[in-house]
Structure 1
Amino acid sequence: MTGSGPAKHQTQAARNFGSMVVLWLVLLAVLGTFFLGVAVWAVCEHFLTTDVPSALRHPAKFRFLHCIFIYVITLGNIFEKIGACSLPRFLQFLHNSMRIKEDPALVVTNLRFGTIPVRLFQPKAPSPSPRRGIIFFHGGGALIGSLDMYHSLCGSLARETDSVLLAVGYRKLPDHHYSTVSHDCLNASIHFLKTLETYGVDSSRVVLCGDSSGAGAAALISQTLVGRLDLPQIRAQVLIYPLLQLINFQLPSFHQNSRIPFLSQKLLITCMFKYLLIDFSWRDAIVSGAFIPPEVWKKYRKWLSTDNLPNRFKKTSCQPVFPAPFNEAAYLESEHLLDAENSPLVRDDEIIAQLPEAFLVSCENDILRDDALLYKKRLEDRGVPVTWYHVEDGFHGSLMFFDKKLFSFPCSLKIMNAVVSYIKSIL
């Protein structure tokens, strides 16, 4: 009888342990099934909703990367819907988990200009004279992108052009909305321009550079700094597949490339509405142009009409009436889309005429292709020198793969080399 107590306890412990093992196995099976299901969903969504450009090299690689992209976005959306974590917060977590490779040729310093995180890239080799300066704004529509994600790109630009590069880590979603990005980019730029000597930068050779929405920020800051006699003048603006207007969503490139990764119409609208705090119920009114007052379109048409595009870029099977009949309620909800702060392409002529020379990169398979073409015409019409580099096999976001080895594309290297070559040509 005395031995039955310990034996009973051992038996109960074994049962408890067995129950825990079963519970963990069930949990692992459920999680495995969940993640596998999301993966299957991502693959199905890719093949059902995505177009792959015919001119693209390595289409299988392109498809694989986009499936991974959809997988990540889908997970973020699921976590957001169940209240576990917002999509922007999930993406931030992934960005912060990225490994950063150190470059022995550079000194990299994390700084804060007030509340704005920035990262400074300086070549280690001594220079007999002040270096060229680059202020870089990353893309991502305030939803995707970070200093870590763009670390390799910024480091390569600094090293290959022998420049001091300041990457601006503007604040973004989910904690910050319109107009935090433009204010952070402007304030960081002004602070840097006032302290160029501290960083060994030649005040006559400062370049503003960015990709996607970051290129839009670079264009906006170039415009905002026009006439500032208390600051060094910007030498050039380098705009890589820029987002320059949120008004005309019926341009040919929006139809031709609306389903092409890595910026579909759906993702563009999602980023825009989240950042600008616009309810998604207004999507159709905004895409159709119904939010644009007739008198406003009368002014902006000369800059945003399809008529301003070269003939070879006008080909589209769909020629919708634009804008749609005016909807005043939609206008009241989204009138800030018409501001030059969100659409630098509609800045007044007197400002455009004073802008520094520009290097514009456009990609044939990009929903934003026509933004670059329209801005090119605006600048040239006002006498601003423009160097245009068009990539026939390029797609939105392609620059980010320039150093990804197995996951790189020929167009990625072409864009990188063209940007480096242009910046090095600035005397």
Structure 2
Amino acid sequence: MAVLWLVLLAGLPVFFLGVLVWAVLEHFRTAQVPRVLQHRAKVRFLHCMLLYTMAVGNILEKLRICSMPRFLRFLQDRVTIKNNREVVVTDLRFGTIPVRLFRPKATSSSLRRGILFYHGGGSMFGSLDSYHNLCSFLARETDSVLLSVGYRKAPEHHSPVAVTDCLNASIYFLKTLEAYGVDPSRVVACGESFGGGIVAAITQTLVGRTDLPQIRAQVLIYPFTQAINLQLPSYQQKSNVPFLSLQLMLTCMCSYLAIDVSWKDAMLKGACIPRDFWDKHRKWLSSDNLPKRFRSKDQQPETLAPFNEAAYLETKHILDVDNVPLIAEDKIIAQLPEAFLVTCEVDIVRDDSLLYKKRLEDQGVRVTWYHVEDGFHGCLLLFDKMVLSFPCSLNIMNAVV
């Protein structure tokens, strides 16, 4: 038995080294690292580490030890939480929903701005801890009271749980603003990636609520706003860029919406979209609505595969407005608060954000747009990671502030 344990212990380093070699080879086989990115060697290193940890997580999942997303969240939460002496941090629960409150320590003679923050992670990753430093920085630099919401995630929980958790926590906060020293006329909703999509969904849901303070502005940082047209130029051009490939995005999407991954191909080709639905919403979903600079002459035309009723029945909730803020009615869009929108050039969901920008502007909503030519999806989370940070990370953070 002792010999067996020795063999197992000796074999573990070899096993993990083998997984690492696979991750490096997979990166160079599939990943596209555009020249526009700064510090491309750093991008390659971080992407190899992501592939490595996901591979180990998938192995643990197959061994029924823990799911891959849970393993990655465990590693994410090992991040060093910086003790910011200028910010008071309090962990709370609004019912069953964990939230974290960030308040500037300095006294204020007047009520402060409030920020509702919804973190990213594709509905599967991210946590209060992994976004702690970002939220603390944001609260300090803007002299605001910030509430970060720890919503439930896939694969344990599916749509609409994440949005519902954030909505319920937001309503509770909005009803008790003065208890936290927040000015009811200066509440901003802010979200990154999947959290940006939550901002869009919640601000739409709260339109017309007279019993709550109105959201003053929305900050959308490379948000997800649709999962219907997966043939937009950015999906064609950026399908294999770090750190959000098309396959990873589809995995997150299917997990959150409880769609079997066998329907991925039908979703990509549009076989699950009824023709009457496409005809009605094409004016909002088509690449025709993108600025010319983001349309390439080499891109393939958007064509829907023959309609597959079985695929539609299995995936039809991707067409629900609750999951697609982009297709909300004009009368809802027109009542939304002004927006600050961040897009990154090296980002598969770049065009989703640009389509939402046009929808807002067409209905008279003021939009301040910040486009980052050397930015990539998820870069904001690296803004304070020292040698692992990028100029675009800090630039976006400063722009948001």
TM-score interval (norm. to shorter): over 0.9
Instruction: Choose which of 103, 106, 109 in structure 1 pairs with 2:90.
Output: 109
Between the aligned partners of 2:334 and 2:304, the Cα distance in structure 1 is 28
The structure 2 residue matched to 1:334, chosen from 315, 320, 345, is 315
Q: Separation in 2 of the partners of 1:400 and 1:135? A: 17
1:203 to 184, 203, 226: 184
The question of 1:295 aligning with 2:287 is answered no
2:244 to 263, 283, 290: 263
Paired letter, 1:353: A
Question: Are the aligned partners of 1:178 and 1:275 in contact in 2 as well (CA < 8 Å)?
Answer: yes
Query: In the alignment, which of 329, 332, 344 is matched to residue 325 of structure 2?
Result: 344
Aligned residue in 2 for 1:39: 20
- 1:26, distance to aligned residue in structure 2 (A): 1.6
- 1:161, 1:265 → 2: CA distance? 35
Query: Does residue 404 of the first structure (1) align with residue 385 of the second (2)?
Result: yes
Could you say which residue in structure 2 is the equivalent of 1:131? 112
Tell me if structure 2 keeps the 8 A contact 1:106–1:155. Answer: yes
Report deviation, 1:321.
Answer: 4.0
Partner Cα separation in structure 2 for residue 93 and residue 203 of structure 1: 36
Matched, 1:229 2:210: yes
Q: Do the aligned partners of 1:365 and 1:392 also contact (CA within 8 Å) in 2?
A: yes
Q: Are residues 1:161 and 2:142 paired?
A: yes
Counterpart contact for 1:255–1:316, Cα < 8 Å: no
- Does the alignment pair 1:304 with 2:285? yes
Partner of 1:180: 161
The separation in 2 between residues aligned to 1:88 and 1:394, in whole angstroms, is: 25
Alignment CA distance shift 1:98-1:409 (3 Å): closer
CA contact (8 A) 1:118 1:166 kept: yes
Runs of 5+ consecutive residues of structure 2 not aligned to the other structure = none
Residue 411 (structure 1) shift: 0.6
Q: Give distance in 1, aligned partners of 2:271 and 2:396.
A: 36
Aligned to 1:88: 69
Q: Which moved more, 1:114-123 or 1:322-331?
A: 322-331
1:286 aligns to what? 267
SS in 2 for 1:262: coil
SS class of match (2:272): coil
Shift of 1:93: 2.3
Report if the CA contact (8 A) 1:110-1:118 is conserved: yes
Report sequence identity in percent: 67
2:37 aligned residue (38, 52, 56):
56
Work out whether 1:216 is the aligned partner of 2:197.
yes
Greater Rg over alpha carbons, structure: 1
* TM-fit CA distance, 1:101: 1.7
Deviation at 1:82, TM superposition (A): 2.2
Residue deviations 1:322-370 (CA, integer Å, cap 9, x gap): 2222111111001100011111000000000000000000000000100
Give the C-alpha shift of residue 27 in structure 1: 1.8
Shift of the alpha carbon at 1:95?
A: 3.2
Q: What letter corresponds to residue 99 of structure 1 in structure 2? A: T
Secondary structure of the corresponding residue to residue 259 of structure 2: coil
Where 1:323 maps in the other structure, the secondary structure is: coil
Decide whether the 8 Å contact of 1:248 with 1:289 is kept in 2: yes
Question: Which string of whole-angstrom CA distances, capped at 9 and with x for unpartnered residues, describes residues 87-107 of structure 1?
Answer: 122123223433322110010
Aligned partners of 2:34, 2:163: CA distance in 1, in Å?
Answer: 33
Identify the residue that residue 10 of structure 1 maps to in structure 2: none
Equivalent residues of 2:153, 2:162 under 8 A apart: yes
- 8 Å CA contact retained: 1:290, 1:330: yes
Which stretches in structure 1 are left out of the alignment for 5+ residues?
1-18, 421-427
Structure 1 runs (4+) greater than 6 angstroms displaced: none
Which of 337, 350, 375 is the matching residue for 1:356?
337
The residue number in structure 1 matching 2:356 is 375
Distance 1:57 1:257 in 2: 16
- Taking the aligned partners of 1:321 and 1:412, their CA distance within structure 2 comes to 32
- Any conservation in 1 of the 2:232–2:302 contact (CA below 8 Å)? no
Q: How many residues align?
A: 401
Aligned CA distance change for structure 1 residues 416 and 316 (closer, same or farther; 3 Å): farther
| Distance apart, 1:127 and its partner CA | 0.5
**2:130 partner SS:** coil
Tell me the distance in 1 between the aligned counterparts of 2:304 and 2:355. 18
- The residue type paired with residue 148 of structure 2 is A
Q: 1:74 aligns with which of 32, 44, 55?
A: 55
Letter of the 2:234 partner, please give it: S
Whether the aligned pair in 1 keeps the contact of 2:234 and 2:348 (CA below 8 Å) is yes
Determine if contact 1:109/1:121 at 8 Å carries over to the other structure: yes
User: Which amino acid is 1:60 matched to?
Assistant: A
In structure 2, what residue type is equivalent to 1:203?
P
Distance 1:163 1:316 in 2: 45
Contact residue 252 and residue 316 of structure 1 kept, 8 A: no
Equivalent position amino acid for 1:108 in 2: V
SS of the equivalent of 1:358 reads strand
The separation in 2 between residues aligned to 1:346 and 1:316, in whole angstroms, is 27
